[in-house]
Amino acid sequence: MDKLDGDSMKMNLVLELSDTPGQLVNSLEPFRELGANLVSVIHDRTDKNENGKIPVQITVEGERQNLEKIIETLENNGISILKVDGSIRTIKISTILIGHIIDTDVRDTVDKLNDLDDVTVVAMEVKFNNEEKSSGLITVEMPFGLKNTVLNKIKEIANSKDLLVINEI
């Protein structure tokens, strides 16, 4: 955030909205409520992301506290924020795998995910029971926009190794 007079700041955001009527207006509501001034809004319906959603670039001016509140409110309203001031927002997702996790080369499973650009496996925990089958929890960190790509990759790996995959809803 760029510092302006007093405690006022400027912030650049990239949101992601679905292409349905009212989405843009709804997403701007928290800015009005928290008394932040919109400097610019760039919204081009013809420029869609891979997931069919529209990126919206917003520059806003306001008090630091209020700007932070806006981010919180937007996320609570289920609006994806891809970038804040140029840095990519990341999310973590957890997935459970059940099957012969170790025997099917657990290292290879992790590598295949890490090979995706900007995707990192940040945690993995495997538990065994008396049988050969094990259960593993994988936590992966990625840029917001890549969630579906990662989920599909996990499914693809699981299918090829005959593992049951339990993804987040």
Partner 1 sequence: MKDLRLCIMGFGAVGQGLAKVVLLKKENIKELYGVELKIVSVADSSTSAISTDGLDEEELIRVKKETGKLANYPEYGSNISGLDVLDECEYDVLLEATPTNIVDAEPARSLTLKAFEQGKDVVTSNKGHLALNFNELLDAALKNNVIFKFEASVGGTMPIINLAQETLPANNVESIVGILNGTTNYILSRMTSEGTSYENTLKESQQLGIAETDPTQDVEGIDAACKTVILANSVLGIPAKYDDVKVKGISDITSEAIYLADKEGYLIKLIAEVSKDNLEVSPRLVKKGSAFDINGTLNMATVTTDLSGKVTVRGIGAGSVETAAAMLTDLIHIIREKYKV
Q: Which is nearer to partner 1, 12 or 139 (CB)?
A: 139
Would you count residue 30 as binding partner 1 (CB under 8 A)?
no
User: What is the contact mask toward partner 1 in residues 78 to 97, using x (rule: CB under 8 A)?
Assistant: ----------------xxx-
For residue 123, CA distances in Å to 61, 80, 95 come to 38, 24, 11
Q: How far apart are CA 98 and CA 158, in angstroms?
A: 9
Would you count residue 38 as binding partner 1 (CB under 8 A)?
no
Q: Cβ 88 to partner 1, closest distance in Å?
A: 23
Among 20, 46, 76, 87, binds partner 1 (CB under 8 A): 20
Would you count residue 23 as binding partner 1 (CB under 8 A)?
no
Q: What is the DSSP string of 80-123?
A: EEEEETTEEPEEEEEEEEEESTTTTTHHHHHHHHHTSTT-EEEE
Q: Cβ 95 to partner 1, closest distance in Å?
A: 7
Would you count residue 168 as binding partner 1 (CB under 8 A)?
yes
As beta bridge partners, residue 61 has: 10, 37
Q: Which helix (H) or strand (E) holds 35?
A: none
Q: Note whether 83 and 103 are within 8 A (CB).
A: no
Would you count residue 29 as binding partner 1 (CB under 8 A)?
no
Would you count residue 25 as binding partner 1 (CB under 8 A)?
no
Q: How far apart are CA 39 and CA 17, in angstroms?
A: 19
Q: How far apart are CA 23 and CA 48, in angstroms?
A: 14
Among 118, 125, 132, 156, binds partner 1 (CB under 8 A): 125
Q: Which of the ranges 3-11, 41-49, 81-89, 131-139 carries the binding residues for partner 1, by CB under 8 A? A: 131-139
Q: Where do contacts with partner 1 occur on this chain (CB under 8 A)?
A: 20, 94-96, 98-99, 125, 127-129, 133-137, 139, 164, 166-169
